[in-house]
Structure 1
Amino acid sequence: MFTAGEDLGSETSSLDNDIFFEVLKRVDPVTLATVSCANSEIRKLSEDEVLWEKFCNERWPSTKDPSVRALINEVGGFRKLYAKCYPLIISNEHLAVRDVHGYGMDGSEDDKGGEEGFQFSPSDLISLVDVVHGEKCIFTKTIHGIPEADAFPRWFSSSPFRIDLLRSPEEEDERGQEEQAPVMIAHGLPSIVSFDRERKHGKFWKALLDDVRVSWITINKRTKEMASLSSWRPLGGSQQWPRDGDFLVRFGSVLPSHRSCFCSTVHCNIVMKCRLINTDVGETVNLKLRLTELSLQLQDMGGVHMHVNGKESLVILRTALRCPRSRLHEEVLSSYNQYLKVHTERKERKTQQEGRLDTAVIVSGTGVFMFICSFIIWLVPKLRASGPANSGSRASVHPLLLEGIKGALIQSLLLP
């Protein structure tokens, strides 16, 4: 039987826990993880799923969906989701181009990995995609499986792997679709008084890179593995100013590749395209952006095809869900910059090789042409000198031979 003092102490402890729990709701996840080391009571409070559901909802608005919430509870809960998907994927693979003998050949380890990777089908994968500008969510979507993968398995296995969530207005018009892509109203961005000035200073472009964020979480329902394929901030992009005022922003990560790929790593390239609309308002430009494209591709840096096919992509995604993670965005940027460096060096070497090949072809063609010219110069006087001495049908052969040589010479000049 409890005494009055024990009851009062229990009520005070319960009250303190309630107050402390409300305090924990207002801290960020990093602070929460730090204070959880203080004692067992705080650790118990910090592991409450309510807290981590709040953190996940704030960072990934797609987790607010009831069906997604049920899925997350099935695969381990919101605390596991945040622990696995907040850090960024870091590939431990040494970035290198495979030699000619290794490229395109399946090793024994990769064969085993491929067989294990195909124990799940594309329908086992679920992707949570969110686009956030500033503090406002402008687009969110949950993808069950991989579009058209199960309906057309042979086509999926051999075709380049690509997931398109949005189509440009031109593609919608061609397909006769009325569905409108999401529109982002860019509050707080600097005004564009002149496109010429924007091309020079890029003030609007820099503000867009600072404020926009794309997250792409992939979950394997069967193995309960999960990872974020995107980066916290843009890895790069470009301003495209033909007449529409298009912006292209790149997110993504560098993943370990399959044995059949040209390079030891592949680039998970997440591309977002925006377009300025309703620009003519007085002397300034109304800052509205329309989201025209959002896609994901796995890109190899060499070989005949730059894009990885669906069969290889499943194995790569399976490996990515088990990759080590890091909370340092600088490591992701370093890995991506190293990938770009190797890619650029390879393109330069390829350009140099093609240049040397073109030079060799030109030199060889010039040599053949000079030889033909020299032969004709040597042969024509001989034929003219021997022409009168011959009679009948023999004399008529020489003009035909001359015409044939002239025709061959003209044809050689016309060939590229």
Structure 2
Amino acid sequence: MVSSSMTTTVDQGGGTTIFAIHPDILQTHILTRLDGPTLASAGCTSSQLHALSTEEKLWMDICNHKWPSTNHPRVHKLISTFTAGHRSFFSDSFPTLDPHHRPSQPNPHSSSFTSELIFAVDIHYQDKLIFSRVQEIETLTGWFLCSPFRVDYLCEKEIVPTPVRFECGEDTCRLNLEENLTLSCIVINPTRKRAANVSSLRPILVQRHWLTGEIQLQYTTILAGHQRGRSSEFVQCRMVVTCGRGGEGGELQVREVSLLTEDMDEKNLTGKESLLIFQKAVDSGGRKIGKRGEERESYVCRRKKIKNTGKDFISGYKFLYALGTE
């Protein structure tokens, strides 16, 4: 903790500035009340605040609050090896990935495989944590490289209770989930000590399964695929959360949480293809601060573009119809 004294300064109006406050009070009673973006902005205002705002404990508390999965012993230990610890992890994981970003120089490590990827998932309902889990995936086995990529976070017959009631009717329930059930899926590359959030915060699509009647929520992010000349192919990283009605109380239960990767024709990618895409996103993917609703708009525009070029007409039409945009 920074404890050196600071010089009291007076502004032109005769009032004392924030630097008149003792550094310990600033760090323990003021900076601890800020969220990540605000704390980062505060650190850019002066060298004194920068020194105070880079304290590891501040950023560890912010990460643990926003993503409880970072409390997992393996993840916590791994983040401590990042260049600036939890501050680096937040810088990697908080912004939205930009699929249109093209790095100025190719990453020499992007074509070499890491032996492991770690996926940390957190699901909240109205800011209340209902599910948190970490999956460690070995990536060099023949089975992983050749099989369709899929990560399941729930064991067979495992269910997760939620505070959502089905009593209000299906349409109202779906709108409730669309607005209040948020998800993050952070992929961590232990070799490169980098991370990226590969899920949309809110669902892109909420629909009823045609066979089981369960409610499915899809959290989808568009990622840059293979580079072909001056243009890039795109792929989609899709988190699927399936909820069903359980018990006499009528509460919804989470029955499936899974991660898939697909091309824009909704064809599953292999583990090898997915590994390259995740490594590219983590190591050199552009980041941006997205606006609420931007992810859905971007995805709908991408699907419309595919439809207009004659590709994936049927699945694109079903998607737009489900959103009510057609």
TM-score per shorter chain, which class? 0.7 to 0.9
Q: CA RMSD in A?
A: 3.1
Q: Is residue 86 of structure 2 the alignment partner of residue 87 of structure 1? A: no
Q: Is residue 308 of structure 2 the alignment partner of residue 342 of structure 1? A: no
Greater Rg by CA: 1
Q: Is residue 152 of structure 2 the alignment partner of residue 164 of structure 1? A: yes
**1:45 pairs with 38, 47, 52, which one?**
52
Corresponding pairs, count: 291
**Cα distance, 1:191–1:334 mapped onto 2, change above 3 Å:** closer
Partner of 2:30: 23
One-letter identity of the residue aligned with 1:127 = F
Q: Is residue 74 of structure 2 the alignment partner of residue 67 of structure 1? A: yes
Checking the alignment, whether the CA contact within 8 Å between 1:91 and 1:256 is kept in structure 2 is yes
Q: Offset at 1:209?
A: 1.5
**Cα distance, 1:250–1:139 mapped onto 2, change above 3 Å:** same
Return the structure number with greater strand share.
2
Structure 2: runs of 5+ lacking an equivalent: 9-18, 317-326
**1:120 pairs with 109, 113, 116, which one?**
113
Partner of 1:301: 264
**Cα distance, 1:350–1:248 mapped onto 2, change above 3 Å:** closer
Alignment of structure 1 residues 367-386 onto 2, 5 Å: none
Partner of 1:325: 287
Checking the alignment, whether the CA contact within 8 Å between 1:130 and 1:141 is kept in structure 2 is yes
**Cα distance, 1:314–1:9 mapped onto 2, change above 3 Å:** closer
Q: Offset at 1:35?
A: 2.3
Other structure's SS at 2:33 match: coil
Q: Distance in 2 between matches of 1:32 and 1:350?
A: 43
Write out per-residue CA displacement over residues 367-389 of structure 1, whole angstroms, 9 at most, x where no aligned residue: xxxxxxxxxxxxxxxxxxxxxxx
Other structure's SS at 1:41 match: helix
Checking the alignment, whether the CA contact within 8 Å between 1:218 and 1:228 is kept in structure 2 is yes
Partner of 2:14: none
Q: Distance in 2 between matches of 1:337 and 1:307?
A: 20
Q: Offset at 1:136?
A: 2.3
Other structure's SS at 2:179 match: helix
Alignment of structure 1 residues 101-180 onto 2, 5 Å: 116-121=109-114, 123-146=115-138, 149-150=139-140, 152-153=141-142, 155-166=143-154, 172=156, 180=157
Partner of 2:189: 220
Q: Distance in 2 between matches of 1:206 and 1:237?
A: 8
Other structure's SS at 2:37 match: helix
Checking the alignment, whether the CA contact within 8 Å between 1:24 and 1:46 is kept in structure 2 is yes
One-letter identity of the residue aligned with 1:256 = A
TM-score normalized by structure 1?
0.63
Return the structure number with greater helix share.
1
**1:192 pairs with 138, 152, 167, which one?**
167
**Cα distance, 1:331–1:259 mapped onto 2, change above 3 Å:** same
One-letter identity of the residue aligned with 1:325 = R
Structure 1: runs of 5+ lacking an equivalent: 1-5, 95-111, 173-179, 281-285, 352-416
Q: Is residue 144 of structure 2 the alignment partner of residue 183 of structure 1? A: no
TM-score normalized by structure 2?
0.79
Give the fraction of aligned pairs with identical amino acids, expressed as a percent. Answer: 29
